[in-house]
Each structure stands twice: as structure tokens, then as C-alpha cells.
Amino acid sequence: MSGFSYRTGALYAEDVALTDIAAQVGTPTYVYSAAVLERNYRAYEQVFGGQNVGIHFALKANGNLAIVALLGSFGAGADIVSLGELRRALAAGIPPDRIVFSGVGKTNEELAAAVKAGIAQINVESEPELEALDGIARAAGRRQRIVLRINPDVDARTHEKISTGKRGDKFGIPYADAQALYRRAASLPGVEPVGLALHIGSQLIDLAPYKAAYRKVADLVQDLRRDGLTVQALDLGGGIGITYNDEKPPSLDEYATIVCDTVGNLGCRLAIEPGRSVVASAGVLLSRVIYCKNGAANDILIMDAGMNDLMRPSMYGAYHPIYPVQEPSPDAKMTAVDVVGPVCETGDTFARARLLPPLGTNDLVAFGAAGAYCSSMSSTYNARPLAAEVLVHGHSYDVVRARQSIEAMFADEHMPDWVTGTDPIAMTAGRKRA
């Protein structure tokens, strides 16, 4: 967990003690390391940069403006999946010509906003989307660059909820239909098909599915070209896995070799859309123990972070490492404990039978590998405000999202007069009913 390390007995994010952040910002709080973010991003740049491969950070992994802006300052583009993410990417200063728009269900409003913003590319996932976009772009007097997202029908061998490239998954255009639809797209005045996209899933540990999918896409490129169609761009998706527990993900070099071997000689401009592998290891969720109580099986550590803050364990059965902020002594007795949140669901369990040193009320822990799909998936379930987010940069840090106030949580809600009994007409009607 470099970027996060023990110094003089306590866990630091770069040169800032997590105890200081907890004291000043409170808990639960997401803490990100700018240095780790940069290292993760530069690794992609080093492997692919020489070959002019576009790197579009997938905002859904972590859309915090500071994080997106920081990545943008390194040269990253954005992969977005909603109007909200378009607005986030633009607000963070990502130039429109570095934004690509993915997603299976883009509304007319979203497509129109993307066309108007002049984004680089829309990844079209179906025939109705193609027809809708053509109309919207023509109405705006534009010709929108698009690629068709293909479902290559490969098994990504990842968690079923994040596998996206198998026939029957909701994503993409069936491989067999792609050629006809590409031809149709080429005939429409509102769109300019420039290539193909695919994204077969997330947290991929095995490179074989990539190889199979990229081979199929390469074959399709040849077929389209034989048909006289122009194919200049390939968007290869994201999805490289990371280590949460004992996974052994491929290196970027190995991944790049596969890219080179399968689609490297087609003369296409390549793009990738990594999310998890850029931000996951750059973040921890800092949380405090409320109580430790005796359970029937194991002792139970009850944290002040819940499934609303960190959903992956309850959603996917995901593993997150748990680090005591105070460094355990080498001879500390490790015991198996259940680590849970305060939310009223048994699903609000982060870990069962996790080996940890003695921890009690007020002790701090950090959930590791929590930079991706953690804060961005959080909710206010149980009327728990969204956690604060902090970005550490060397010796200093900034609160990049203030802890949500309880007032802000329900500021947009409204009680109609007929409910509160202050509307005289409704009150009369109510009396009649009674």
C-alpha cells in the first residue's frame, strides 16, 4: 500500500498522519494520495504514451472534481456514462475533445448535451440509440463522431455483476449485427462512424478474455474495411484488475503486449478507459471504532462507516484490507473479528473473521484499496450524510468534499400543505372522508 505507510507507529498518507485528518475532519472520511494517483496514471502513460493511445479516466470509479482535475492536469481524458458525469468532467476542466460517452441507456437530453458540448466521441450501444443520436445531431447542425460498442461475447471471468461483454449481458451491439449497423451509421448524415469500442468487464485478473475479445474486434475491423467502410479508431475499454486481497492482476506491460499483438497493426488510433486501476489503490476509507462487542462467533467491531459509505462488501462480497491506524506491535495477538457498520442490515458487514490486533472504542482503522467504486457508490441510506473526502499532497491536504450536512441531506424534500394540515381545503376534504 505505498503512498500509505506506517511511520513512528502510525499510518500516514504520504507525509500526513491519518490521526491528524481524523482529528480535524472527523470520520468516516475518504483519504486519497495524489502521489499514488499520479504514479498509477503515469504507468499507463509510460506503457502506451509513446504510441499515442488516448487515456480516458472512467469517472464512475471516482468522480470527485479534485481527482478528475488532477488526472486532467496529467493529460487524462474522461470516459463518462451520464449527463452528471459530463458536467463533472467539464467542471473539472477536461476539454470536450478528450471526453468519450459510454453507456447503454443515454437519454435524448444526455445525447443532446453531449453533442452541444462537442465531445470527442459517443460510444453507441444500440440501433435505437444510433437513430436517436442521428436526429439530435442533425437538429443541432452537427455531425457527431461515434464508435459502435460491440458485445464480443467473451466471458471476462470476473464477478457476474461487473461482467459486460458476454452475449446476453445488456451492453453493446451483438457481434453478428455490428457490420450491418456500421453500414447504416455510415449512411446517416448526423453521425460519423469512426471505429469500434468494447469493454468486457471490470476487475479482470485474467488476460485471456481481453485477447479473445480484441481478436474478434480486429476481425471485425477487417470485415468492415473489406466492405469499404472506414475504421480509424478502437476504444479498448477499461477493466484491468487490482489486488484487494491475494489477486495477481496482470502487469500493464503484459496487457500492452496483448493490445499490440491483437490490434496493434490495424493502423487505428487506440484509446483505453481505465478507472479502478488508476484510483483504487490511491484511496483509503478512514473510520473509527464505535464499539467492540462480544458476538456469538467472533468479537464484533462496529465502525462509524457503514455500507452506505462503502458498499462493495455488501454489493459484491468484496474484500478490502483493513489496517489499524496505530501500528500493531509485532507481538500483538491477532484474533478473528467481524467488522461491521451501524446500518440496520446484516449486509452491512465489511469482513467476517478478519485477523486483527486488539481494537476498541475510538481506535481508527483504514479500509484499503478504497479509491474506486467506493465514495462514488455511496448513499445516504439510514439518513447518514455522505462522508468527507480529503486529498493529500505531500505534507498538506485539502478537504475536497466537505462532509454533507444533515440539513443538506433533506433540503430538497418538501412537505405538501395537505400533509402538514395547513391547507384548509384539503383539511375539509379530509374531514369529509373521515
Ligand X SMILES: *Cc1c(COP(=O)(O)O)cnc(C)c1O
Among 62, 102, 281, 314, indicate the residue that binds ligand X (CB under 6 A): 102
Cα distance from N-terminal residue to C-terminal residue, the chain: 65
Catalytic residue among 260, 268, 292, 344: 344
Pairwise CA distance, residues 69 & 88, whole Å: 10
Among 72, 77, 190, 238, indicate the residue that binds ligand X (CB under 6 A): 238
Grid cell in block for residue 366: 483504514
Pairwise CA distance, residues 416 & 32, whole Å: 42
3-class secondary structure, 288: strand
Rg from Cα positions in the chain:
24
Which is closer to ligand X, CB of 28 or CB of 275?
Answer: 275
Strand partners, 56: 77
Among 152, 165, 195, 237, indicate the residue that binds ligand X (CB under 6 A): 237
Among 18, 37, 61, 130, indicate the residue that binds ligand X (CB under 6 A): 61
Contact between 273 and ligand X per CB under 6 A: yes
Nearest Cα to Cα of residue 66 among 389, 395, 394, 374: 389
Which is closer to ligand X, CB of 21 or CB of 198?
Answer: 198
Shortest Å, Cβ 11 to ligand X: 26
Which is closer to ligand X, CB of 220 or CB of 365?
Answer: 220
Known catalytic membership, residue 268: no
Which is closer to ligand X, CB of 205 or CB of 409?
Answer: 205
> Using CB under 6 A as the criterion, what x/- string covers residues 9-48 for binding ligand X?
----------------------------------------
Burial of 395 (0-12, 13-18, 19+ CB in 10 A): exposed
Within 10 A of 160 (CB to CB), how many other CB atoms are there? 10
Among 58, 59, 92, 196, indicate the residue that binds ligand X (CB under 6 A): 58
Which is closer to ligand X, CB of 237 or CB of 306?
Answer: 237
DSSP structure class, residue 163:
B
Query: Which residues, numbered 329-358, are part of the site for ligand X (CB under 6 A)?
Result: none
Contact between 276 and ligand X per CB under 6 A: yes
Q: How many whole angstroms from its chain centre is CA 384?
A: 21
Shortest Å, Cβ 430 to ligand X: 49
Shortest Å, Cβ 275 to ligand X: 3
Among 27, 29, 60, 376, indicate the residue that binds ligand X (CB under 6 A): 60
Pairwise CA distance, residues 32 & 389, whole Å: 8
> Using CB under 6 A as the criterion, what x/- string covers residues 182-211 for binding ligand X?
-----------------x--x---------
Pairwise CA distance, residues 430 & 56, whole Å: 57
Strand partners, 289: 303
Shortest Å, Cβ 272 to ligand X: 8
Contact between 71 and ligand X per CB under 6 A: no
Which is closer to ligand X, CB of 22 or CB of 55?
Answer: 55
Alpha-helical runs (H) found in 118-207: 127-139, 178-186
Contact between 79 and ligand X per CB under 6 A: yes
b/e map 32-61, b = 16+ CB within 10 Å: bbbbbbbebbebbeebbeeeebbbbbbbbb
Annotated catalytic residues are: 344
Residues that bind ligand X (CB under 6 A): 58, 60-61, 79, 102, 199, 202, 237-239, 273-277
